[in-house]
């Protein structure tokens, strides 16, 4: 019974959290870490409704990963406020899951044990952790691979485990940093559909960074375009496509989809051109 309650079977899922960034800037010390440091994010205002799916795109190096790291609590802003669920973000928490391009699985643990690792670490009872992990792994099509090891899985399957590992903690916010960048296009489209189904089922708040403009349109309800570094919100485009996109096999061939991709592409090109002219003027 505890295990059933733990995966919310048959119950309406609780919405993910509201996300608020108010005047967020990030300065890195000169010479610290990779590249030059300096102002990375400049006065970012961003609001995500609870349970929404928002994509972020922007030129290389404009601060997308930095923005996710601030939301994950891996770094603190230099100015401004980062709030999730009405609370200031003050450090990492399993309530804010993050998925990177590399699945980062523990090679010595099975798929199931990779997935129960997080809940067990925060004191969830083993039977509940196993029930939750089995539920989400099965949801993501890995029910037959629970006892396999990461090296026995394809890249797409490893990313599905990474998704299960984030969602098993029942996060209020799921952050994804180009999670499918290393996959071939067909696998990538399949895993995007899995992610959309997962969002539709869980109603958590999803924030998804990608370089692929078509993918940003396909997965999200809203695309946020950042300017070139120092990144700030340059434009927001609402994506009014049907929610259950995986059920519309021809969605990517519709005029509305093409129009939205073109709109995102135009703003992206403008931002890239602005960045180039700023560089040549410097
Ligand atoms: N630890 C660090 N120390 C100093 N500068 C850093 C550090 N991490 C990132 N930067 C710089 O901050 C800027 C933003 O980096 P970030 O990784 O957030 O950009 P991004 O938009 O995710 O880039 P990409 O599109 O390449 O993934 C870049 O110019 C980068 O070189
Ligand atoms: Mg990045």
- Residue 66 CB–ligand 1 contact under 6 Å: yes
**Residue 86 in contact with residue 18, Cβ under 8 Å?**
yes
**pTM of model > 0.85:** yes
Q: Is the pLDDT of residue 132 over 70?
A: yes
278 versus 62: the higher-pLDDT residue is 62
Q: Could you tell me the strand order of the sheet in which 38-48 lies?
A: 38-48, 19-28, 79-84, 87-88
Q: Is the pLDDT of residue 128 over 90?
A: yes
- For ligand 2, the distance from its centroid to the CA atom of residue 173, given in whole angstroms, is 18
- State the pLDDT at residue 2: 37
Percent of the chain with pLDDT over 70: 93
Structural domains present in the chain:
2-105+173-281 (3.40.50.300)
- Residue 40 CB–ligand 1 contact under 6 Å: yes
Percent of the chain with pLDDT over 90: 78
- State the pLDDT at residue 41: 96
Cβ-in-10-Å burial (0-12, 13-18, 19+) of 166 comes to: buried
- Residue 92 CB–ligand 1 contact under 6 Å: no
- Cβ-based neighbour number of residue 114 at 10 Å: 25
**Residue 114 in contact with residue 126, Cβ under 8 Å?**
no
8 versus 129: the higher-pLDDT residue is 129
Nearest CA to ligand 1 atom 23: 61
144 half-sphere exposure, CB direction, 13 A CA radius = 2
274 versus 235: the higher-pLDDT residue is 235
Token pair for 81 = 């406020």
Q: Is the pLDDT of residue 17 over 60?
A: yes
- State the pLDDT at residue 247: 87
For 40-55, what is the mean pLDDT?
96
Ligand 2 ion local residues (Cβ < 5 A): 64-65
Instruction: Indicate the SS3 state at residue 242.
Output: coil
Q: Is the pLDDT of residue 36 over 90?
A: no
CA distance 135 to 106: 20
């Amino acid at each position: 019974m505890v295990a059933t309650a733990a995966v919310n079977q048959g119950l309406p899922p609780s919405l993910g959290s509201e996300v608020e960034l108010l005047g967020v800037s990030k300065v890195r010390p000169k010479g610290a870490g990779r590249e030059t440091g300096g102002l990375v994010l400049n006065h970012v205002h961003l609001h995500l409704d609870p349970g929404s799916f928002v994509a972020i795109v922007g030129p290389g190096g404009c601060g997308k990963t930095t923005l996710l790291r601030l939301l994950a609590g891996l770094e603190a802003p230099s100015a401004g406020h980062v709030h999730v669920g009405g609370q200031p973000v003050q450090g990492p928490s399993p309530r804010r899951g993050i998925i990177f391009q590399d699945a980062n699985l523990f090679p010595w643990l099975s798929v199931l044990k990779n997935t129960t690792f997080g809940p067990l670490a925060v004191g969830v009872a083993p039977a509940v952790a196993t029930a939750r992990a089995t539920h989400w792994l099965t949801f993501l099509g890995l029910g037959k691979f629970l006892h396999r090891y990461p090296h026995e899985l394809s890249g797409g399957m490893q990313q599905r485990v990474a998704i299960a590992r984030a969602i098993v903690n029942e996060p209020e916010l799921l952050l994804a940093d180009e999670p499918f960048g290393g996959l071939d296009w067909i696998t990538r489209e399949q895993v995007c559909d899995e992610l959309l189904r997962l969002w539709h089922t869980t109603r958590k708040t999803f924030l998804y960074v990608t370089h692929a403009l078509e993918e940003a349109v396909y997965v999200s309800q809203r695309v946020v375009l950042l300017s070139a570094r120092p990144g700030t919100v340059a434009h927001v485009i609402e994506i009014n496509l049907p929610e259950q996109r995986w059920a519309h096999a021809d969605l990517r061939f519709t005029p509305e989809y093409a129009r939205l991709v073109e709109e995102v592409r135009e703003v992206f090109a403008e931002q890239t051109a602005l960045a180039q002219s700023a560089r040549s003027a410097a």
